[in-house]
Structures are given as C-alpha cells and as structure tokens.
Chain A
Amino acid sequence: MALPIYASPLQRAWYYGFRTICTLIFLFLIVPILVILPLSFNAEDFFTFTPEMLRFDPEGYSLKHYRDFFSNSDWQNAVVNSLRIAPMATFLSVSFGTLAAIGLSQPHVPFRRAIMAILISPMIVPLIISAAGMYFFYSRIGLQGTYWGVVMAHAALGIPFVIITVTATLVGFDNSLTRAAANMGAGPVRTFFRIQMPLILPGVISGGLFAFITSFDEVVVVLFVGSAGQKTLPWQMFTGLREQISPTILAVATILIAISIALLTVVELLRRRSERLRGMSPG
C-alpha cells in the first residue's frame, strides 16, 4: 500500500490523511494505558500532571504510592486472596478442560454440538447474569461467601477458554502417533503423558493463562459470590474507584499492566512454538 510515484495530489492527500486518522485511533487505544504509568509516580495525591512533573523535576516524582500499596494491609490481603483463588481455579479448569477437550476431539462423540454449547456457555452469558444465578444457587447450597464457592465459580468461567485453545491445538494432532505408541506397548496413561501431552502443551498453557487472567481479573462474580474474606485485587480496585479514589490505584494498575505485557509475550511465543511444532509457518 506504498504510495506510487504517479499518485495524484488527491491520492497523496488521502494517503497521508488516512495514516493520520489511523495514528489518532492507535493513540486512543494506547495512550489511556500509557498515561497511567508516569502518573503513578506522582509525588502529590493528584490525578493529573503537576507542573513539577511536566518540568521533569525529580521532586515531582516519588514512589510513595507504591510504598502505600506494599504497606497497606487492605491491598496486601487482596493480593494474597487473588493469588489463593486464581491458581486453584486455573488448576481446576485446566485439568477438567484438557480431558474434556481430548474427549471432544475424538471422531465419534454423541451430542457434540449440545455438549460444546453447554461448555462454552459461561463465556457467552453476561457476567452479571452468571453472578446473579451463582449468588442465588450458591446461597442455597451454602457455598456463597466461601473460598471454594469463588474458586468453583471462577473455574467455570475459565473453562471455555481452555476448551477453545486446547481443541484448536488438537485439530492438527496426528492420531497415528498415539497408535504408534500403543503399538509399541505403551498404555493409555503413558501415551497421554509421554506423547500427547508434550505436543498439546502450548495450547494447554495458553488456555491456562486465559483461565488465570479470567479469574485474576474477574470482579463481578466475586463481588456477589465472595464475602469480605475473599476480597480480591480487582474487587479492592473496584471499591477504591467507587468510594475513596486514591492514587495507589494507579500504582496497582501499573503493576498489572507490567504483568499483562509479560503474559501477552508468553502467549505469543507459545502460539509461534505451537505452529512451528505442527509444521505451520509462523504468522
């Protein structure tokens, strides 16, 4: 789409005009996230750039919001709760989800469409509806306000992601490999762990990452299913944003942005590796 030398002035104007529009939209996408980073080092309790900051005066910058985050017990409890809930929920959705994805990829599965619809449904139903239903049902069976209630709710929300990514990896899976393993005397369990698992591992890991992010970032369901003892990081941020907004939130946001950049890199690397393993060209 490079500009040819014979382009008319109108074409030339449109070419640069279009690029300008696209740049503006990219700025709209990315600037709100980037603005948070310097603001989190603000020495004052303001949400805007102070004159000192604009002069790049070191006086205008400080780590005090980060210190607050690491010393405030509310925030630290929230981090601990998030780290207790998300890995457990991820473990549940990955272990159940991988097994089911392998089952779903078999050539003869009765009611495949119906089963798939049920398993994908947590992703389709708006979160507020899932939250309402889970609140009603979990309070009937005594799970509302418990650790396991939140873990199970989050595991259910993460399952569609595991199913989608793992079945996508299994599409290119060569079934003669498992037959060859069986032929050489390996039992089904050994075949699974030694042959199938290493090959679909990238899909399993990226499904797990999606499930982890879903739980780690989830606020609506935990707001209803959890109680004060399960206050997670997003919940604490939500309360902070709704009630007394303090710049500590910006420090937390910056840390979370760093984490999401790391996760994005991992997923991208895994995707390339998986495509290479299956003999596709990296896209």
Chain B
Amino acid sequence: MANTADSSQQIAHSAPVTGPVLGNDGRPLKASLAKSLRRQKLRALGLIAPLLIFVLLTFIAPIADMLFRSVENNIVGDVLPRTVVALKDWDATTGELPDNATFKAMALDLKEAVEDKSHTRLGSRLNYEQSGISSLFRQTGRKVKRLDVEETTDFVAAFEKMNKKWVDVENWQTIKAFSGRFTDGYFLAAADLTKGPEGVERVPENQQIYYTLLLRTLKMSMIITISCILLGYPIAFLLATLPLRTSNLLLILVLLPFWTSLLVRTSAWKVLLQQQGVINDTLVWLGVVADNARLELINNQTGTIIAMTHILLPFMILPLFSVMKTIPPSYVRAAKSLGANDWTAFWRVYFPQSVPGIGAGSILCFILSIGYYITPEIVGGTKGVFISNRIAYHISSSLNWGLAAALGTLLLVVVLGLYWLYDKFVGIDNVKLG
C-alpha cells in the first residue's frame, strides 16, 4: 500500500504537463542546461582571459594612450593655473591687453614654474602654435626670479621691461586659445590648419606639408598597389593553371621573398639601385645608358616604388592565387565551345570571377603600404617618404608628441576604414598564412 501511495504521490508531482521538465537530480532541466551552458561559457572566457588582459595592457592601452595624447593639453593649465583662471574673463577679440591682475597671476605662476623648469616645457609646447613664444618663456624665466611680487604694483610695465613681447596681444591670445584641458590644435596642425584670430584658417600654401605628405602617401600607395596587380595577376594566373606539382614548385619562388627578412630585401634594393650598383652597372655594360648618365633609382620616389612593389608582391599573389584556384576551368572551355575566342573567354568569363581576388589583394597591399616606415626611410630619400616617417620624426627628433599622435590617429582611422571594407568584401576570417 505504501508503494501505491508513493507512486501516486509521484504521479501527482509530475502530472501537470505544463510544469517544468525535471532532470534526474530533481531540478528543472532548463535550469540545469542553462547552468551547464553558463559554465561552458565561463570556462571558454577563463581560457581567453589571460591573453585578452595581456593584449589589452600591452597593445590596446598604448593605442588608447595615443588617441588621448592627440587631444590632451594639460600642460598650460598645470603650469599656469592662476593665469588660466584670470584669462577666463578676458575678451581676446578686442585687441586689448589683459588687466594688471592677469599679469600678476602670470608672475606668480612663472615664479613657481621656474623652480622645476616646467616653464621651458610649456614654452616649447606653445611654440608649436606660435613660433618665438619658447624663447619668450625662457628669457622671462631667468628674469622673473628677481621680480618682487610684494613690491610691484604695475605688473604690465614690469613684464614689458622683462621682454617687449609681453605687450604683444598675439601671445596672450595663443595662451588663452590653448588654456583648455583638451585641444584640437594637433589635429588642426595635422590637417595644415591653424587657429587665427578669426577662427580656423589654412596655413600658407608653402607650409602645407602634411596635406602634401598625405596626398603623396595615398598616391604612391596607389601606384604600388597597381604595379602589384599588374605583376601579380599573370603570376597567379600561371600558378592556378599549371599542374599542381609544377605550381607548388613555382610557389616557392613567391614564398621565399615573403619569408625573407624585410631588412634583407631592403638592403638588397639599396645595393642594387645605387648609382654604382648592379643595375646601373649592367645597364652601362649593355650600353643602354651612358656611363656619365647613370639612372637615379634611389633616394627618390622611384626607389620607394620599386622596392615596395617587390616587398608587397607576395601579398597580392597569394590571395589572387587562392581565388583563381577555385575558378573551374570548365567555364572557360564552355565559353570557347560556344564560340568565344581566347580573349573573349578570358575577359568575359575568367576575369570577372577573379575580381574578388584582385579586391582582396589590393586592399591588403594598400593598407600595408600606407603604414610603411622602414623601406621609404632607407630608399626614399626626402621625396619618397610617407606619413609614417613624419610620425617617427615627431616622436624622436622634434619631440612634438601631440602632433605625432594626431597624425597616427588620422592614419589609424584610414587603415581601420579600409579594413572595414576588407572585412565586408573578403572577411577577416579568411586571412591565411603561408
């Protein structure tokens, strides 16, 4: 009897069909499934987490830092805190000097800044915006130590005595314009724009270096990409149509340059392209050029284009080859049997199917080429360098890190935009190696 009661109780328990299905541990099956799924997800994330944290720290944080530095402008507010507050009420457009209190604030700020020499750093920062301001700060820094703040009443006159430039309204306008915590000054400079009294304006034609440089980078990358298509297409076509054994052998000729150190290939071109180098020697020997009219192949745009085409050619051939391998040869045969001649069969049937490969290879070559630094630096001279060389120059020589960061940000935006296109047409997952 007890047994029946037990079973009836069990039936009563599971009788409502609408209730949750139970697993054999008595808990709802759905909950157990969700729990195990959650555990799986956690385990996967646990495996990924160390790497993710590592990449975030060593790579993403630096990129974020660069983006931040391209707009950061704390130095004016840090070095001249009182002056920045005093300048708030000053109207920069009237053309009148700030009042005596502002000059006093400047005196107090400078006296403190001289202690840790931060006034020279501020000077060189503001010098990017207006030349001459750096020496103004350095000279005043030396003299301001002897200025007695308690005794002086007419600070304007005192400053004028230290350096005449202090009564020049332009300098004050610059300080006020760049007194904010953030600035668009670096980006304006990177786009050859400057902040004048009447708002943003173009810098004079002969000083527009960045615009010219960006145009040159894009133009030369385009030329390099096109040369890669012209040289890569026949090779990929040949590799795709030859029997597997032969094409695998020939593929080594493509992979060897791909695997050879970039520096080795660049040195090879430096050696080959010199005026007394192998190419010029051979041409002279063949009688193509006269000995006194050797070709100038290096330290100009020609050098950069030749060397970079050689370096990026495998990046064009490999994606093209992988696309062409999938085109069935029967299509071309079908076209020919329907009466097309060789050219029509190629142009109307084969070529359209290889266009995705051209797209993939071109975007890859173009992206790689606009960010190149080493090869243009070595074979490009002054006329054949890219925007990356300018970034490097601002980091290591001119020390204008903000401008370097702004140029880097612009380049990054262009590259990420191109990658977005690449992902849309080809898919990042289809990136293959070797």
The interface of chain A, by Cβ under 8 A from chain B, is 1, 11, 14, 18-19, 21-22, 25-26, 28-30, 32-33, 35-36, 39, 46-49, 92, 96-97, 99-100, 102-104, 106-110, 115-122, 124-138, 140, 152-153, 155-156, 159, 161, 164-165, 168, 206, 210, 213, 216-217, 219-220, 223-224, 234, 237-238, 241-242, 245, 249-250, 253, 256-257, 260-261, 263-264, 267-268, 271, 283
A-chain residues with CB within 8 Å of residue B432 when the two chains form the complex: 168
B-chain residues with CB within 8 Å of residue A245 when the two chains form the complex: 270
Chain B nearest CB: distance from A244 CB in Å? 13
Does B295 lie at the interface of the complex (its beta carbon under 8 Å from any beta carbon of A)?
no
Contacts A125-B415, A128-B411, A129-B371 known; list 11 others, CB within 8 Å: A1-B241, A35-B272, A96-B50, A103-B47, A109-B41, A127-B371, A128-B371, A129-B412, A137-B65, A159-B55, A219-B263
CB pair B377–A242 under 8 Å, yes or no, is yes
Known: A104-B44, A115-B52. A25 touches B231 (CB 8 A): yes
CB pair A103–B48 under 8 Å, yes or no, is yes
Complex-state Cα separation, A65 to B43, whole angstroms:
55
Known: A47-B274, A103-B44, A103-B48. A29 touches B66 (CB 8 A): no
Closest to A167 in B: B429
- Segment touching A, from B82-90, B165-173, B194-202, B388-396: B388-396
A-chain residues with CB within 8 Å of residue B29 when the two chains form the complex: none
Complex-state Cα separation, A168 to B429, whole angstroms:
10
Chain A nearest CB: distance from B240 CB in Å? 9
Among A22, A49, A219, which residue has its beta carbon within 8 angstroms of that of B235? A22
Chain B nearest CB: distance from A104 CB in Å? 6
Complex-state Cα separation, A77 to B235, whole angstroms:
41
B-chain residues with CB within 8 Å of residue A124 when the two chains form the complex: 367, 415-416, 419
Does B105 lie at the interface of the complex (its beta carbon under 8 Å from any beta carbon of A)?
no
Closest to B422 in A: A124
CB pair B234–A36 under 8 Å, yes or no, is no
Complex-state Cα separation, A140 to B264, whole angstroms:
34
CB pair A132–B408 under 8 Å, yes or no, is yes
Known: A136-B66, A257-B260. A35 touches B55 (CB 8 A): no
Chain B nearest CB: distance from A251 CB in Å? 11
Known: A47-B276, A102-B47, A165-B433. A136 touches B69 (CB 8 A): yes
* Highest count of chain B CB atoms <10 Å: which of A102, A156, A250, A261: A156
B-chain residues with CB within 8 Å of residue A110 when the two chains form the complex: 41, 45
Chain A nearest CB: distance from B324 CB in Å? 12
Chain A nearest CB: distance from B17 CB in Å? 30
Chain B nearest CB: distance from A220 CB in Å? 5
Complex-state Cα separation, A168 to B433, whole angstroms:
10
A-chain residues with CB within 8 Å of residue B216 when the two chains form the complex: none
Per-residue CB contact flags for chain B residues 19-39 toward chain A (1 = under 8 Å, else 0) read 000000000000000000100
Among A19, A106, A156, which residue has its beta carbon within 8 angstroms of that of B54? A156
CB pair B374–A257 under 8 Å, yes or no, is no
Q: How many residues of B contact A (CB 8 A)?
A: 91
Known: A25-B234, A36-B271, A135-B395. A106 touches B65 (CB 8 A): no
Known: A22-B235, A26-B250, A261-B256. A32 touches B62 (CB 8 A): no
Chain A nearest CB: distance from B189 CB in Å? 16
B-chain residues with CB within 8 Å of residue A109 when the two chains form the complex: 41, 44-45, 48
B-chain residues with CB within 8 Å of residue A234 when the two chains form the complex: 261-263
A-chain residues with CB within 8 Å of residue B43 when the two chains form the complex: 103, 106
Complex-state Cα separation, A14 to B235, whole angstroms:
15
A-chain residues with CB within 8 Å of residue B54 when the two chains form the complex: 92, 96, 152, 155-156, 159
Does B136 lie at the interface of the complex (its beta carbon under 8 Å from any beta carbon of A)?
no
CB pair A137–B47 under 8 Å, yes or no, is no
CB pair A48–B281 under 8 Å, yes or no, is yes
Does B259 lie at the interface of the complex (its beta carbon under 8 Å from any beta carbon of A)?
yes
Among B41, B270, B404, which residue has its beta carbon within 8 angstroms of that of A241? B270
Q: List 26 A-B contacts (CB under 8 A).
A: A14-B342, A19-B238, A22-B235, A29-B310, A30-B253, A32-B265, A33-B257, A47-B271, A48-B274, A97-B51, A115-B52, A121-B59, A126-B411, A128-B371, A129-B66, A129-B411, A130-B59, A133-B66, A136-B401, A164-B433, A210-B433, A224-B392, A238-B374, A249-B267, A261-B259, A264-B252
CB pair B44–A136 under 8 Å, yes or no, is no
Chain B nearest CB: distance from A212 CB in Å? 12
CB pair A241–B433 under 8 Å, yes or no, is no
Chain B nearest CB: distance from A138 CB in Å? 7
Among B55, B269, B431, which residue has its beta carbon within 8 angstroms of that of A118? B55
CB pair B278–A133 under 8 Å, yes or no, is no
Does B122 lie at the interface of the complex (its beta carbon under 8 Å from any beta carbon of A)?
no
Does B56 lie at the interface of the complex (its beta carbon under 8 Å from any beta carbon of A)?
yes
A-chain residues with CB within 8 Å of residue B66 when the two chains form the complex: 129, 132-133, 136-137
CB pair A256–B47 under 8 Å, yes or no, is no
Chain A nearest CB: distance from B264 CB in Å? 4
Chain B nearest CB: distance from A172 CB in Å? 15
CB pair B404–A132 under 8 Å, yes or no, is yes
* Highest count of chain B CB atoms <10 Å: which of A25, A122, A237: A25
Known: A29-B254, A126-B415, A260-B256. A219 touches B65 (CB 8 A): no
Known: A30-B253, A106-B43, A267-B434. A136 touches B405 (CB 8 A): yes
Complex-state Cα separation, A269 to B120, whole angstroms:
60
CB pair B395–A132 under 8 Å, yes or no, is yes
Chain B nearest CB: distance from A4 CB in Å? 11
Complex-state Cα separation, A97 to B48, whole angstroms:
8
Among B55, B250, B260, B378, which residue has its beta carbon within 8 angstroms of that of A122? B55
CB pair B264–A256 under 8 Å, yes or no, is yes
CB pair B234–A18 under 8 Å, yes or no, is yes
CB pair B415–A156 under 8 Å, yes or no, is no
Does B283 lie at the interface of the complex (its beta carbon under 8 Å from any beta carbon of A)?
no
Closest to B394 in A: A132
Q: Which residues of B260-298 have CB atoms within 8 Å of chain A's CB atoms?
A: 260-272, 274, 276-278, 281
CB pair A118–B265 under 8 Å, yes or no, is no
CB pair B412–A125 under 8 Å, yes or no, is yes
Chain B nearest CB: distance from A280 CB in Å? 14
Complex-state Cα separation, A18 to B233, whole angstroms:
12
